[in-house]
Amino acid sequence: MKKLILCLVGVGLLGACAHVQEAKSFANCKYALKSVELTDYSLTVFRFDALLTITNMSRKQAAVLKRFDGKLTVNDETMANVTLQDIRIEPAATKNAKMKLVVPMTRLSNKLIGLISMDSATLDYHLTGTMYFEGPMGTEIPVPVDVGRYGSHDRE
């Protein structure tokens, strides 16, 4: 009976190590906002489809994300809530994660609309929130993240 329990604990620990390695691989990925496309609008909201490109830098370990809950900010103004689920990226591969964004009209300032209409290169974006990875026995391991890009101007 003791040997059976020890074997089960050993298998559980090996599985937990695999989950930790997959989470570590996801933390070391490179992220870029590939595209944002306006899909619909009304007097109160804009709807966008956005692609987040994620590149797994590990050559040996897959990167696995159970879920991401966060928000998108542009030039330090909160634009939309973002949710991603069940993403797996094989070693040394790139995947596009599709996000549906709903931006209330009240969140778009005149300054931001002007920058977007001029196709400005000075838009700063950030995805901030929490990534959740699958842990041992179905638990979720939360990891806070801040992924972003600064425009062409210097920033401290």
Q: Which domains does the chain have, with CATH numbers?
A: 2-149 (2.60.40.10)
Of the candidates 140, 143, 139, 141, which has an alpha carbon nearest to the alpha carbon of residue 129? 143
Q: Is the pLDDT of residue 105 over 70?
A: yes
Pairwise CA distance, residues 115 & 83, whole Å: 26
For residues 33-59, give the mean pLDDT. 87
Which of these ranges, 23-27, 69-73, 97-101, 146-150, has the smallest mean pLDDT?
23-27
Give the pair of three-digit tokens for residue 122.
């000075």
Question: In this structure, are residues 73 and 107 in contact, taking their beta carbons and an 8 Å threshold?
Answer: no
Q: What is the pLDDT of residue 107?
A: 79
Work out the pLDDT band at 71, boundaries 50, 70, 90: very high
Q: Is the pLDDT of residue 108 over 80?
A: no
What is the residue-averaged pLDDT of the chain?
75
Q: What is the pLDDT of residue 9?
A: 42
Q: What is the pLDDT of residue 120?
A: 55
- The alpha-helical segments, DSSP class H, found in the chain are 2-27, 110-117
The model's pTM is 0.68
